[in-house]
Copies of this chain bind each other. A is one copy, B any other.
Amino acid sequence: MGYDNNSVHEILQGAYAEGRRSLTAAEGHYVCEVYGISTPGEGLATSAEEAVAIATELGGPVVLKIVSPDILHKTEAGGVLVGLEDGEAVRNGFDRIQVKVRAYDPAAAIDGVLVQQMLAGGQEVIIGATTDPTFGKLVVFGLGGVLVEVLEDVTFRLAPVDAVQARSMLDDIAAAEVIRGARGACPVDADALADVIRRLSDLVSDFPEIREVDLNPVFARPDGATAADVRILLETGGVVQREQHSPDEIRRVMNRLMKPRAVAVIGASNEDGKIGNSVMKNLINGGYAGEIYPVNPKVEEVLGHKAYPRIGDVPGEVDVAVFTVPAKFVVGAVREVGEKGVPAAVLIPSGFAETGNVELQEELVSVAREHGVRLLGPNIFGYYYTHENLCATFCTPYGVKGGVALTSQSGGIGMAILGFSRTTRTGVSAIVGLGNKSDVDEDDLLTFFENDDNTTAIAMHLEDLKDGRAFVRAAQRTTRTKPVVVLKAGRTELGARAASSHTGALAGNDKVYDDILRQAGVVRAYELNDMLEYARGLPVLPTPQGENVVIITGAGGSGVLLSDACVLNELRLMNIPPDLDESFRRFIPPFGAAGNPIDITGGEPPSTYEATIRLSLEDPRVHALILGYWHTIVTPPMIFAELAARVVEEARAKGIDKPVVASLAGDTEVEQASEHLFDHGIVAYPYTIEKPVSVLGAKYRWARSADLI
C-alpha cells in the first residue's frame, strides 16, 4: 500500500514491550500520519514558553491537554482547555492546567501539555475499526452525537475496503442527508471521508494486533477531513488462524458428498422405527441409483442389500458414510471410515456439543481431521440431493427436482423446509442439515453450489457463522451468478440470547450481520416464510434487465397497496413515457388511470388484461411487471391465469424474458389460478399484496448487488 509499515510495527512492538495495550495520543497521531490520515497539528510542551511557541507556529486557536500516564479522565481532572486564541491565553492556560491537575492528583507523573490546533466547524463524524468475533476486522462509520449514541445510526464493512465500498458507507446511514448537505448546508468532502475510512481499514488489515481504533470525532469539512482524536487499542491475546481448505479441495470432497457413486449406512437396520432403517428406506425409495452398503455386524442383509460387519469389509470405493448409530459409537466408526478412505461422513446422531458433550465432539473432529474425513453434522436430519435421487435422511423422500438448494442449522427449520417445499411443489436441488457444524459449514456448501449446474439459487438458515470471512468470500463469489438468501436467526438481543443458550455460539450484533451480508451480495430474509418464498420464487423469475417496474391492476385498491409495497421493497415504478401512456390508454376505459399503476378498472374483459400485459412485455423500456388481479364475472381467475401465462410464454418464445409477479384478489378460485401462474413462471399469490412484490424485490436486490442491472 506504500505505507511505512516498519515504523508502525516498531510503535506497536514498543507498546507491547512496555506492557501497554493502548497507544498514547502521540503514537496514535503518528500512526495516522503514516497511513495518510490527517490529524490536527500539535506539539508537546513542557513549559509555558514552549506551549506559546508551538501555538504560534500552529496559528489560530489551540487546545491544551495534559499528558500523563496517570490521568485517565483528562477533562474531569481539569486537564483540558479549549479555544485559546493568543499567546497570553496559552501561557495562562498552561499554568492553570498544571495547578488543577496537581490538585486533582498530586502524585500524577506529568509528561507535559499537548498543544493542539483547534478544529471547529464542519460536521462531526465517527470513523472506527473493531475486531468482530465472527467477521474479524470491521470499519465503522456514523455521525457524531445523539445519532450514534442513542439511535446507533452506524454502518459496518469488512476491512479492507476499496474506495467505492468506503464511499458507499456514507450513504448507508439513516442521516446520510446530513453528509450530502441537508437543508441547504454545505455538503462535506465525501471523498476525503471515504479516504479516511479506506486508510483506516488498510491499517487494521496490515496490523491484526490492532484490536480497535476510534477516530472520534473526525471533522468533515467541505474541503477535507481531520481526525481530532485518535484512540488505538491492541489485542491482548494472540491472533488465531482457522484451518482453511482451498476451494478446489472443498469442491472435490463436496462433489463426492453430493453426487456419490456409493453410500454406506453405518448402523443400517431392518427394524421399523430405527433411524438406520428410515435412512435405508429413503435411499431405496428415493430412487438412488448408486451402490448402497448397509454396515451392521448383526445381520446378513438390510432391505435386500447385502450388509457388511464393518465399513472396512465393503468391497468397493465408498464416497459417503451416513451414521445412524448412537453418539458413543461415532468416534470409533469415523476412524474406521477414515481408514477405508471414505472422504465424507454424514452424522445424524445427536448427543454432542448440543447436549453439552463438547469433549466428545472435539474428539470426533480431531479423529476426523487425522483421517482426512470431512464431517456433516452431527445432530442433523441428513441431506437430500434431488438430481441424484439421493435422500440420505430419516425423514421422507423428496423428489421435485429444481434449482434451489436449501440449508439449515436447525433440524426444526429443516423439517419446515421439507414440508413447505412439498406443499408448494418447490423445485429443489438440495436440502442439507448443518446441525452442530463441527466441520462442513455454509462456506463449504456455497463453494459447491457455486459450481453446481443443478443449483440456481441458495437459501440458508443460520444462527451463527464459524468463520464469517470464509463465508463472505464464498458468498461474494457465488452471488455473482446465483442469488443467496440468508435467514439469520438471533437478530434481536433477546433472540441472540436464545441462540447462545442453544448452540453456545456467540451471536454477533445484528447490524453487523445486516451490513456485512449485504456487502457479500446476500439477500437477507427476515422471517422463515420469506426465506421459503424467496427460495421458491427466485429461481422462477428471470433476472430483470433494468429498474423500470410497471403495475397493471384491475382494482385501484390493489394498485395503491402494490405501490406501497414497491416503495417498501425498493422497487422503482417506471415513469411512463407519453407515447407508451398513450398506447396503454387505447386499451383501458377513459376513467381508468394510465400512469403507473395502470388501473384498467374492474369491469374489463380478458382482452384488456391481455393487451396491456403484452404491451408491457413487448416495450423494451419496461423491465418487470406486477399484476394486480381482481376477481370478476367478466374475467374469472382461471381465465386470467391462462391468458397471463400464455402471453408471457409467447413473449418468451420471442426471446423476451421479463420477471412477472401477480397478486390475486378474489374468491377461492384464485388459489388454483395462482398455482397455474407459478407453474408457468409467474410468481403469484392469493390474498396477499406484499408477498409477490417482496419476491420481486429480492430478485432486484440480488441483481443489483451482482451488477447485473
Complex formed: what's the CA distance from A416 to B416 in Å?
27
Is there a chain B Cβ closer than 8 Å to A521's Cβ? no
Q: Which A residues from 380 to 414 make CB contacts under 8 A with B? A: 394-396, 408-413
Is there a chain B Cβ closer than 8 Å to A565's Cβ? yes
Residues of B within 8 A of A603 (CB): 350
Q: Which A residues from 400 to 437 make CB contacts under 8 A with B? A: 408-413, 415-416, 418-420, 422-423
**How many chain A residues touch the partner (CB < 8 A)?**
96
Residues of B within 8 A of A490 (CB): 560, 563-564
Residues of B within 8 A of A487 (CB): 561
Among the interface residues A177, A355, A495, which one has the most CB atoms of the partner chain B within 10 A? A495
Is there a chain B Cβ closer than 8 Å to A709's Cβ? no
Q: A352 → chain B, closest Cβ, in Å? A: 10
Q: A412-B555, A687-B416 are in contact. Are A146 and B564 (CB under 8 A)?
A: no
Closest to A499 in B: B560
Complex formed: what's the CA distance from A88 to B408 in Å?
76
Complex formed: what's the CA distance from A597 to B494 in Å?
10
Complex formed: what's the CA distance from A183 to B668 in Å?
56
Is there a chain B Cβ closer than 8 Å to A628's Cβ? yes
Residues of B within 8 A of A151 (CB): 151, 174-175
Contact B686 A494 (CB under 8 A): no
Contact B563 A419 (CB under 8 A): no
Q: Which A residues from 457 to 495 make CB contacts under 8 A with B? A: 461, 463, 487, 489-495
Partner of A561, one of B143, B489, B666: B489
Among the interface residues A412, A563, A669, which one has the most CB atoms of the partner chain B within 10 A? A412
Contact B563 A688 (CB under 8 A): no
Residues of B within 8 A of A189 (CB): none
Q: A695 → chain B, closest Cβ, in Å? A: 14
Contact B666 A411 (CB under 8 A): no
Closest to A599 in B: B502
Enumerate chain A interface residues (CB-CB to B < 8 A).
143, 146-147, 149-151, 174-175, 177-178, 182-183, 273, 278, 350, 354-356, 394-396, 408-413, 415-416, 418-420, 422-423, 461, 463, 487, 489-495, 497-499, 501-503, 527-529, 532, 553-561, 563-568, 573, 589-591, 593, 595, 597, 599, 602-603, 628, 630-631, 633, 665-671, 686-691
New A-B contacts (18) at CB < 8 Å, excluding given A410-B555, A419-B665, A498-B556: A146-B147, A146-B175, A146-B182, A150-B178, A350-B603, A354-B591, A356-B591, A394-B633, A409-B557, A410-B557, A419-B671, A419-B687, A422-B667, A490-B564, A527-B561, A527-B565, A528-B561, A528-B689
Subset of 14 A-B contacts with CB under 8 Å: A150-B174, A150-B183, A273-B633, A350-B602, A356-B591, A410-B560, A412-B554, A413-B555, A416-B686, A418-B667, A419-B670, A422-B667, A461-B557, A495-B567
